[in-house]
Amino acid sequence: MDKREELQTKLDHVEEKLADLKARWPYHSVQPKLVAEREDLEEEREQLLHMLKNFPNGIHEKP
Query: According to DSSP H, which parts of 1-53 are helical?
Result: 3-23, 32-53
Q: What is the pLDDT of residue 63?
A: 43
Q: What is the pLDDT of residue 58?
A: 55
Q: How many domains are there within the chain? A: 1
Q: State which residues form the domain around 31.
A: 3-53
Residues 12-60 have pLDDT tens digits of 999 999 999 999 999 999 999 999 999 999 999 999 999 999 988 655 5
∠ CA 50-61-43, rounded to 5°: 35
Is 59 a domain residue?
no
- Give the pLDDT mean for 5-11: 96
Is 45 a domain residue?
yes
Is 37 a domain residue?
yes
Q: What's at 49, amino acid-wise? A: L
